Amino acid sequence: MLTQAIYDRLAGDGELGGMLADYNGSPAIFTTEPAPGDAVLPYIVTAGEVAQAPFDTKTSLGRNVLRDVRCYAPGEGSAVLVEAIAERVRFLLHRQPLSIAGFDWVISDVAGPIAADEGGGGSPDVYGRILTLSLMAQEI
């Protein structure tokens, strides 16, 4: 339900697209995990809900959905690029109505970004930021 709405909002923004690598002629925004092996940084991954709970009333059915949006950029000594990408994602999703097939958007909030730089078992050459979208929607 939410995947297409998030992708459309993010991919349709020229400013965000200008900060991301291209993948097959589109901004590098992936809705599956992991990102394709041939993807080049910087890119965004948002795949699947973190949590989903009912948002029902006496007369309607709805959902409260949590979805992470993870932003990654090359670890080149400065996190400026990944932070700019994350802030643009926050701007595009926080309190902004989304068109979701079969649902009426009620409200959405974005928490973060929080640091998720790769280290230990991951690559120290990647900077990451995670934002969590909380969205309430009612079924039509």
CATH number at residue 23: 3.30.2000.30
Report, as an integer, the average pLDDT of 103-118: 88
For residue 64, the enclosing domain spans 2-139
Kindly tell me if the per-residue pLDDT of 89 is higher than 50.
yes
Q: Is the CA virtual torsion 17, 135, 83, 127 positive or negative?
A: negative
Q: How buried is 64 (Cβ within 10 angstroms: 0-12 exposed, 13-18 middle, 19+ buried)?
A: middle
Number of domains in the chain: 1
Q: What are phi and psi of 98, to 5 degrees?
A: -115, 145
pTM recorded for the entire structure? 0.87
More confident of the two residues 15 and 54: 15
